[in-house]
A and B are shown apart, each in its own frame.
Chain A
């Protein structure tokens, strides 16, 4: 399979379909209810499964009243550690870097509140729910360790997915010692849960030794392999379908215990089984963002140039597995400094294991960094935007490498212009509106890596001049059905209406992971390459055949335009795809490709999306209620495939940042570890009234290195910068520097 053959004969180019602000191709299905989400599937003979969850955080399950559950009308089976069929893979094994230890009823041990401790299968959801209630577990509890104080501190070796826990470049202590101005800033961020609108769900139906699984999944090939591993069947015997996802945010990339148990249960009872998490059951087994305690130290010379930047984060993980929010790493790649250090410590608590949650590390780390930078600017008496410009990194501070592209200066300028930043008073509490409310303006820099993973795609030109493209890419609401189809159409030299785009199914070529803000770049490159490959084969057919008007043009002598191959030098000579295929007697002509980054570019360049976010807040001076009255973000993320959808993603990211700054906080009882706000009445995310004005500007950026498409990512960067911008605006309005997130009324009242 050729690797990204985009620089080959060059029959096709991005541009006809890409760049257009198409509305979602799946929008009609979604607003009419015709889009089938996993839990909408109801195969014949379906049974319902409900997992009972532990109400203690640590100890053992001593008893379960299985007889009472079985006696409840409609209950078909109760699975506990005593009768759980064997798994082909140990739940503690970690075959890949994306594997976590899960609970599959392996023993009676309880390691967090909300852990699955039994599975009840019944004819109805109601019967299964009541069956789970009737289990009335008895426990041998042990004291739970919930907060930073009670947790067990440990030295972390890696953070995130395999990143080193510590990084040093230059002499930080010397840099601080030699500084004219020094700032130390501490802040805490809370435990947060993904809380996608669609809960986790699975419908599993067996046919002999093959199983069909409907489940929202951000990484279909990986999920297929994981199910196969647990169930002891070859991956090709697992059909995993995930055409639509109602939000994933990282929590749907990895299997959880209940997923495995539902598939196992379906095999055990010989009927299809559906398991849909209740919202409160999403607290524990499907990951979260771990809480952090961060400390930054910044040193500046008399002109406000950094002499050192030191970022330390202590982060929570579970008692039995590691995912450490790589918060401090957010300081590595953005501000020029001769001395830079980041490091992490871990604290083990009796909660479920954290996992990647939209901008893992970047979100909480950027929140702290941008507040600290604001405080540093204040300490130097410099406007926060000017301070950032003085510390603009021309090369990556962590590696010294050049950036593949970096239009951050333009982001600062365009964002500031649009927001009206000029003339902002340096001192806090200087602006009021007509009603006497305090007004504050704050800003933050946005940064997110532009990674690329590996994906495969297939494109088939058909005799009627249409085409089929396939990759197991995933639309979790971000618009992949649309943006990827636009890229695929350009790869084929066809209008988007003439391609049939298939995605979200394990029968398709591996579309990689919808995560890390790298899906459009990765799956898009594969799709473009597959189309280009098919067109190249078509060009061979045409230019090599004496009856073709293109005969003799040479393969490089033709280009694709709207379903025709056209002679480069003599555009009057052209031939349609359908005619070329008909003459050759070929019904279908397939091409394929792998999307991956050029290793040389990956080695030599630092690759990031950049942005600048500006926030205005109103604060009631006596009652301390805060509202973000305006958010303006300017972002440079390489080539934008669909400006309409990209803006939506960036807006959504900024709203997520607002949520981080002012709303989201998981509350766990300090004694029991149980969630005390496992519903959307208690776990707040913004409502429309919280977001009166949000605007994302797309800043032009060409990047010849990041991938042949020039595409970076827009899925997560909107969060970064925004949290700090809002906190800094709160400071500017009130003079109170927030020391924890979310910023509460009481924090300002008691300041």
Chain B
């Protein structure tokens, strides 16, 4: 690990000033960044620890029906907040399906939004990776890519974004409060992560020194709370990244879908909002025909980036299942195996 400077600023202004220096990186819980530093994939010259900044650890349910969550709220804390989980059950389920209890206790909302791809070539400094080193090419292209992107990828990069949380949040039109050298701004979360195009190293919309300070959910996000699920397919029952995942939220009245929210994870370099599928669902009868059409539309543009054509069919089936489960109603309690297709959602769930 390289020698680096560690700074623990007392205020947001100090943090942004320190974080704007070349080579600086913001450090939250470090559950991702420290791993990257240990392999040598990241070698920041300066770590700016933002975990102790005042005022970033609040969960606020707003009068207008929306919510505002500080960037340093821990994953476990947010998932277990009853008011939050009642309004945004798919977000809570996504949170609880990620990582392990130990990691969720440490990991922060802001850190989760900023986590990097788990592409093994990105993690391995000896591999060529244009996401890590601009212009270096992509060793995953002809390498081990069975879990790589099927949407929005380019020849320059096939990586996927690994977050569960972001998938549910993107589906619900979350936005971000960002503070940087030029002041404060708000952007839709959907615009935070960028598709690789020919510049995969430009991973997010953040400018140098910018720091996410809070996340906002609009009042409409709670409108789908009665029919919300996050489902995640993985090779192990828990503690694994998604092969594919899907967040689905429906508002249903008299059997007809009034509002639909749908996003996919593990399929692209960003959480993938399926707007065409949403449009097809809205106004349709909540049932197999509409769900099948929506699932097909969600994957209409998918194409394999390597040895991963199976993921397209798998994602289509998972979207279908997520819509079915959402239509069946949000479970009373989050299943003991959150987001698992093997979970029993009834009272008999395995503890």
Check B144–A669 contact: CB distance below 8 A.
yes
Chain A hits for B276, CB < 8 A: none
Interface membership of B285, Cβ < 8 A: no
Cβ-defined partner of A625 (8 Å) among B126, B310, B341: B341
Interface membership of B317, Cβ < 8 A: yes
* Separation of A261 and B234 alpha carbons in the complex (Å): 41
Shortest beta-carbon distance from A72 to chain B in Å: 8
Check A684–B235 contact: CB distance below 8 A.
yes
Interface membership of B63, Cβ < 8 A: no
Cβ-defined partner of B310 (8 Å) among A437, A676, A681, A746: A746
Tell me the residues in window 674-714 of chain A with beta carbons closer than 8 Å to chain B beta carbons: 674, 676-677, 679, 681-682, 684, 686-690, 692
Interface membership of B183, Cβ < 8 A: no
Check B3–A435 contact: CB distance below 8 A.
no
Chain A hits for B350, CB < 8 A: 692
Chain B hits for A742, CB < 8 A: 235
Chain B hits for A749, CB < 8 A: 310, 313-314
Shortest beta-carbon distance from A666 to chain B in Å: 11
- Knowing A130-B3, A435-B344, say if A684 contacts B236 (CB, 8 Å): yes
Cβ-defined partner of A623 (8 Å) among B35, B120, B121, B317: B317
Q: Interface digits, B236-247 against A, CB 8 Å rule (1 contact, 0 not)? A: 111111010000
* Separation of A493 and B40 alpha carbons in the complex (Å): 58
Q: Interface digits, A615-656 against B, CB 8 Å rule (1 contact, 0 not)? A: 000101011110100000000000000000000000000000
User: Which B-chain residue is minimally distant from A433 (CB atoms)?
Assistant: B344
User: Which B-chain residue is minimally distant from A744 (CB atoms)?
Assistant: B235
Cβ-defined partner of B342 (8 Å) among A130, A625, A670, A746: A625
Interface membership of A601, Cβ < 8 A: no
Check B238–A745 contact: CB distance below 8 A.
no
Interface membership of A126, Cβ < 8 A: yes
Chain B hits for A126, CB < 8 A: 1, 3
Shortest beta-carbon distance from B313 to chain A in Å: 7
Shortest beta-carbon distance from B112 to chain A in Å: 15
* Separation of A667 and B119 alpha carbons in the complex (Å): 13
Chain B hits for A435, CB < 8 A: 344
Chain B hits for A155, CB < 8 A: none
Check A627–B342 contact: CB distance below 8 A.
yes
Chain A hits for B317, CB < 8 A: 622-623
* Separation of A133 and B37 alpha carbons in the complex (Å): 12
- Knowing A681-B118, A687-B238, A745-B243, say if A625 contacts B233 (CB, 8 Å): yes
Shortest beta-carbon distance from B70 to chain A in Å: 27
Interface membership of B146, Cβ < 8 A: yes
Chain B hits for A687, CB < 8 A: 100, 236-239
Check B40–A746 contact: CB distance below 8 A.
no
Interface membership of A3, Cβ < 8 A: no
Q: Interface digits, B87-102 against A, CB 8 Å rule (1 contact, 0 not)? A: 0000000000000100
* Separation of A620 and B322 alpha carbons in the complex (Å): 14
Interface membership of A115, Cβ < 8 A: no
* Separation of A692 and B237 alpha carbons in the complex (Å): 10
Interface membership of B74, Cβ < 8 A: no
Tell me the residues in window 29-50 of chain B with beta carbons closer than 8 Å to chain A beta carbons: 35, 38-40
Check A745–B120 contact: CB distance below 8 A.
no
- Knowing A55-B126, A620-B341, A674-B127, say if A133 contacts B2 (CB, 8 Å): yes
- Knowing A126-B1, A618-B342, say if A623 contacts B318 (CB, 8 Å): yes
Check A690–B236 contact: CB distance below 8 A.
yes
Chain B hits for A561, CB < 8 A: none
Check B237–A690 contact: CB distance below 8 A.
yes
Chain A hits for B39, CB < 8 A: 280
Q: Interface digits, B308-346 against A, CB 8 Å rule (1 contact, 0 not)? A: 001001100110110000000000000001001110100
Interface membership of B207, Cβ < 8 A: no
Tell me the residues in window 116-166 of chain B with beta carbons closer than 8 Å to chain A beta carbons: 118, 120-121, 124, 126-127, 139, 142-144, 146
* Separation of A694 and B321 alpha carbons in the complex (Å): 30
Check A671–B342 contact: CB distance below 8 A.
no
* Separation of A690 and B237 alpha carbons in the complex (Å): 5
Interface membership of A543, Cβ < 8 A: no
Check B344–A627 contact: CB distance below 8 A.
no
- Knowing A745-B314, A749-B310, A750-B310, say if A622 contacts B238 (CB, 8 Å): no
Cβ-defined partner of B126 (8 Å) among A622, A663, A674, A746: A674
Chain B hits for A728, CB < 8 A: none
Chain B hits for A624, CB < 8 A: 314
* Separation of A662 and B38 alpha carbons in the complex (Å): 29
* Separation of A677 and B119 alpha carbons in the complex (Å): 10
Interface membership of A520, Cβ < 8 A: no
Check B239–A669 contact: CB distance below 8 A.
no
Cβ-defined partner of A745 (8 Å) among B233, B239, B340: B233
- Knowing A676-B124, A745-B243, A749-B313, say if A670 contacts B238 (CB, 8 Å): no
Interface membership of A722, Cβ < 8 A: no
Check A663–B120 contact: CB distance below 8 A.
no
Chain A hits for B341, CB < 8 A: 620, 623, 625
Chain A hits for B240, CB < 8 A: 684
Interface membership of A189, Cβ < 8 A: no
Chain A hits for B313, CB < 8 A: 749
Chain A hits for B233, CB < 8 A: 623, 625, 745
User: Which A-chain residue is minimally distant from B237 (CB atoms)?
Assistant: A689
Chain B hits for A667, CB < 8 A: 120, 144
Interface membership of A129, Cβ < 8 A: yes
Check A669–B139 contact: CB distance below 8 A.
yes
* Separation of A435 and B335 alpha carbons in the complex (Å): 14
Check A669–B143 contact: CB distance below 8 A.
yes
Check B321–A623 contact: CB distance below 8 A.
yes
* Separation of A618 and B341 alpha carbons in the complex (Å): 11
Shortest beta-carbon distance from A438 to chain B in Å: 11
Shortest beta-carbon distance from B233 to chain A in Å: 6
* Separation of A133 and B125 alpha carbons in the complex (Å): 11
Check B321–A622 contact: CB distance below 8 A.
yes
Shortest beta-carbon distance from B131 to chain A in Å: 16
Shortest beta-carbon distance from B129 to chain A in Å: 12
Check B237–A627 contact: CB distance below 8 A.
yes
Chain B hits for A73, CB < 8 A: 3
Check B120–A677 contact: CB distance below 8 A.
yes
Check A689–B146 contact: CB distance below 8 A.
no
Chain A hits for B124, CB < 8 A: 674, 676
Check B1–A129 contact: CB distance below 8 A.
yes
Shortest beta-carbon distance from B44 to chain A in Å: 14
Counting chain B CB atoms within 10 Å of each CB, the highest count among A618, A663, A671, A676 belongs to A676
User: Which B-chain residue is minimally distant from A684 (CB atoms)?
Assistant: B236
Chain A hits for B2, CB < 8 A: 130, 133
User: Which A-chain residue is minimally distant from B343 (CB atoms)?
Assistant: A435
Chain A hits for B342, CB < 8 A: 437, 618, 620, 625, 627
Q: Interface digits, A46-85 against B, CB 8 Å rule (1 contact, 0 not)? A: 0000000001000000000000000001000000000000
* Separation of A462 and B314 alpha carbons in the complex (Å): 70
User: Which B-chain residue is minimally distant from A126 (CB atoms)?
Assistant: B1
* Separation of A219 and B144 alpha carbons in the complex (Å): 38
* Separation of A682 and B235 alpha carbons in the complex (Å): 11
Shortest beta-carbon distance from B23 to chain A in Å: 16
User: Which B-chain residue is minimally distant from A749 (CB atoms)?
Assistant: B310
Counting chain B CB atoms within 10 Å of each CB, the highest count among A126, A623, A681 belongs to A623
**Can you list the 10 inter-chain pairs with the closest CB atoms, starting with the nearest?**
A55-B126, A689-B238, A689-B237, A676-B120, A746-B310, A690-B237, A687-B239, A627-B342, A622-B317, A620-B341
Subset of 22 A-B contacts with CB under 8 Å: A133-B40, A280-B39, A620-B341, A620-B342, A623-B317, A623-B318, A623-B321, A625-B234, A625-B340, A669-B127, A670-B143, A671-B143, A679-B35, A681-B118, A681-B241, A682-B120, A684-B236, A687-B238, A687-B239, A690-B238, A744-B235, A746-B314
Starting from the known contacts A625-B342, A684-B235, A689-B237, 14 additional A-B residue pairs (CB-CB under 8 Å) come to A55-B126, A129-B1, A130-B3, A133-B2, A280-B39, A627-B237, A669-B127, A674-B127, A684-B240, A687-B237, A690-B236, A692-B350, A746-B310, A749-B313
Residues of B within 8 A of A (CB): 1-3, 35, 38-40, 100, 118, 120-121, 124, 126-127, 139, 142-144, 146, 233-241, 243, 310, 313-314, 317-318, 320-321, 337, 340-342, 344, 350
